[in-house]
Structure 1
Amino acid sequence: MVDLPGFKTFGAASMSDSHLAEVTGVSSNPGQLRGRLYLPPSLQRGAPLVVALHGCTQTAAGYDRGTGWSTLAEREGFALLLPEQARGNNPNGCFNWFTPGDIARCGGEAESIAAMVEAVVAEHSLDRARVFVTGLSAGGAMTAVMLATYPELFAGGAIIGGLPYGRASGVPEALAAMRAPSGNATELAQAVRSASAGYRGSWPSVSVWHGAADHTVAVANMDATTAQWLGVHGLDPAACSTEHGAGWTHRTWRGADGRIAVEERRIAGMGHGVPIDPSGSDRLGVAGPFMLDVALSSTAEIARSWGLVAAAEVRREPAEAPVRRRLVPEVMPANDTAAPPASAATSGVGQVIEDALRAAGLMR
Structure 2
Amino acid sequence: MLELQSFTNGAQNVLVSVPDFGSNPTKLQMSIYVPTKLATSPAVILALHPCGGTGTGYYQQTKYASLADTNGFIVIFPSAGHDNNCWDVATTKTLTHDGGGDSNGLANMLKYTIDKYNADPKKVFVTGTSSGAMMTNVMVATYPDMIAAASGYSGVAAGCLAGSPGSSPQTADPTCADGKVVKTSDQWKSVVKAMYPTYNGTYPKFQVWHGTADTFVNYPNLGEEIKEWEGVFGVSWNKNLTNSPQTGYTQMVFGDGDQFLAYSAVGVGHTVPVHESVDLQWFGIT
- Give the TM interval when normalised to the shorter protein: 0.7 to 0.9
Q: State the secondary structure of the residue aligned to 2:58.
A: helix
Question: What are the Cα deviations for residues 301-349 of structure 1, in whole angstroms up to 9, with x where unaligned?
Answer: 111111112xxxxxxxxxxxxxxxxxxxxxxxxxxxxxxxxxxxxxxxx
Q: 1:272 corresponds to which residue?
A: 270
Question: 1:8-48 deviations in whole A, cap 9, x for unaligned?
Answer: xxxxxxxxxx8111235522100110001001111133111
Which letter does structure 2 place at the counterpart of 1:252? Answer: V
Displacement, 1:100?
A: 2.6
Maintained 8 Å contact 2:207/2:261? yes
Would you say the 8 A contact 1:35–1:116 is kept in 2? yes
Cα deviations by residue, 1:249-299 (Å, 9 ceiling, x for unpaired): 001224xxx5610001111111001415xxxxxxxxxxxxxxxxxxxxx11
Deviation at 1:109, TM superposition (A): 0.7
TM-score (norm 1): 0.69
**Are the counterparts in 2 of residues 23 and 120 from structure 1 also a CA contact under 8 Å?**
no
Helix, strand or coil: the match of 1:153? Answer: coil
Taking the aligned partners of 2:26 and 2:158, their CA distance within structure 1 comes to 18
Alignment of 1:14-163 (within 5 A): 19-23=14-18, 25-86=20-81, 89-90=82-83, 92-105=84-97, 106-163=99-156
Q: Per-residue displacement from partner, 1:187-206 (whole Å, max 9, x unpaired)?
A: 10111111113211121001
Q: State how far apart, in whole Å, the 2-side matches of 1:187 and 1:204 are.
A: 19
Following superposition, the deviation at residue 62 of structure 1 comes to 1.1
Paired with 2:20 and 2:200, the residues of 1 have a C-alpha distance of 29
SS at match of 2:174: helix
Q: How far does the alpha carbon of each residue in 1:126-153 deviate from its partner, in whole angstroms, 9 at most, with x for none? A: 0100100011111111111111011001
Larger radius of gyration: 1
Secondary structure, aligned partner of 1:271: coil
- Separation (CA, whole Å) in 1 of partners of 2:242 and 2:253: 12
Q: d(CA) in 1 for partners of 2:173 and 2:46?
A: 24
Number of aligned residue pairs: 263
The residue type equivalent to 2:269 in the other structure is G
Percent identity of paired positions between Structure 1 and Structure 2:
27
The DSSP-based 3-state class of the residue aligned with 2:193 is helix
CA distance in 1: counterparts of 2:227 and 2:158, whole angstroms = 11
SS of the residue aligned with 1:252? strand
CA distance in 2, matches of 1:93, 1:24: 18
3-state SS of 1:250 partner: strand
TM-score (norm 2): 0.88
Question: What root-mean-square deviation, in Å, do the aligned CA atoms of Structure 1 and Structure 2 show?
Answer: 1.6
